[in-house]
């Protein structure tokens, strides 16, 4: 990986804690952590927000994981896609579905609700967003307001992290491959470069 901001050595007491946490969670210290080490308050803010969002429990964990992966696939963040696939493995989520997220429109693995969530995640990630009243009304009816708000927050956070990673040149570090997971399905490319409409 060649990032646009060179990684910095992670040092000090806080650095030792961060490296220990990363190693326990991922098996090693990601190179991308060294990039963020240039501005530790930004790193702490991002990690803190991510951890708080991860602890929320009003929305199904699988739906949130698939939504985050849908954003990563749509935006093109290989780091987030790989990391979330790796985390799905460790959290006992459905890996057959997780690996199909990049091609969810063509896949038969997903339930109608999961397909709606994936479509919502992509619609919220477009510029400008293309979320419709009908999308929200359907998810509100099926999930309830608390779960919908939580899901939307996960999607918003996914956009923050994926777009930041792409801007900084942070790419996949092979977390899933290191676990021996099957490769993720490839995202199909439309002829116009846009996102194909859902049938």
pLDDT of 190: 55
Q: What is the number of domains present in the chain?
A: 2
In tens, the pLDDT along 73-126 reads 999 999 999 999 999 998 999 999 999 999 999 999 999 999 999 999 999 999
Q: How many CB atoms lie within 10 A of CB 33?
A: 22
Stated pTM of the model = 0.90
Same-domain status, 63 and 51: no
Does residue 119 fall inside a structural domain?
A: yes
| Calpha distance 122→126 (Å, rounded) | 6
Does residue 91 fall inside a structural domain?
A: yes
Q: How many CB atoms lie within 10 A of CB 151?
A: 24
Are residues 89 and 181 in contact, defined by beta-carbon separation less than 8 angstroms?
yes
Which CATH number characterizes residue 145's domain?
1.20.1290.10
Same-domain status, 183 and 88: yes
Does residue 121 fall inside a structural domain?
A: yes
Same-domain status, 123 and 44: no
Same-domain status, 63 and 135: yes
Residues of the domain holding 35 = 9-55
Are residues 69 and 81 in contact, defined by beta-carbon separation less than 8 angstroms?
yes
* Pair of tokens at residue 31: 């190179």
Same-domain status, 97 and 184: yes
| Calpha distance 87→77 (Å, rounded) | 16
Does residue 193 fall inside a structural domain?
A: no
In order along its 199 residues, the chain shows pLDDT tens digits of 589 999 999 999 999 999 999 999 888 999 999 999 999 999 999 999 999 999 999 999 999 999 999 999 999 999 999 999 999 998 999 999 999 999 999 999 999 999 999 999 999 999 999 999 999 999 999 999 999 999 999 999 999 999 999 999 999 999 888 778 888 999 987 533 444 444 3
Does residue 1 fall inside a structural domain?
A: no
Does residue 132 fall inside a structural domain?
A: yes
Same-domain status, 176 and 142: yes
Same-domain status, 96 and 74: yes
Same-domain status, 96 and 27: no
Does residue 198 fall inside a structural domain?
A: no
The Cβ-side half-sphere exposure at 144, using a 13 Å CA radius, reads: 6
pLDDT of 47: 92
């Amino acid at each position: 990986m060649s990032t646009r901001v060179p990684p910095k050595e992670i040092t000090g007491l806080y650095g030792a804690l961060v490296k220990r946490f990363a190693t326990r969670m991922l098996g090693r210290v990601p190179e991308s952590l060294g990039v963020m080490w240039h501005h530790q308050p930004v790193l702490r803010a991002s990690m803190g927000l991510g951890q708080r969002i991860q602890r929320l429990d009003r929305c199904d964990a699988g739906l949130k994981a698939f939504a985050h992966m849908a954003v990563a696939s749509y935006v093109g963040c290989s780091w987030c896609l790989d990391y979330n696939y790796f985390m799905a493995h460790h959290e006992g989520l459905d890996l057959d579905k997780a690996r199909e997220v990049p091609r969810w429109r063509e896949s038969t693995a997903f339930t109608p609700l999961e397909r709606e969530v994936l479509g919502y995640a992509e619609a919220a990630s477009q510029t400008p967003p293309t979320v419709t009243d009908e999308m929200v009304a359907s998810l509100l009816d099926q999930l309830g307001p608390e779960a919908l708000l939580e899901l939307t927050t996960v999607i918003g956070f996914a956009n923050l992290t994926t777009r930041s990673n792409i801007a900084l040149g942070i790419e996949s570090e092979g977390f899933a491959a290191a676990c021996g997971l099957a490769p993720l399905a490839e995202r199909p490319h439309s002829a116009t470069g846009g996102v194909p409409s859902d049938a």
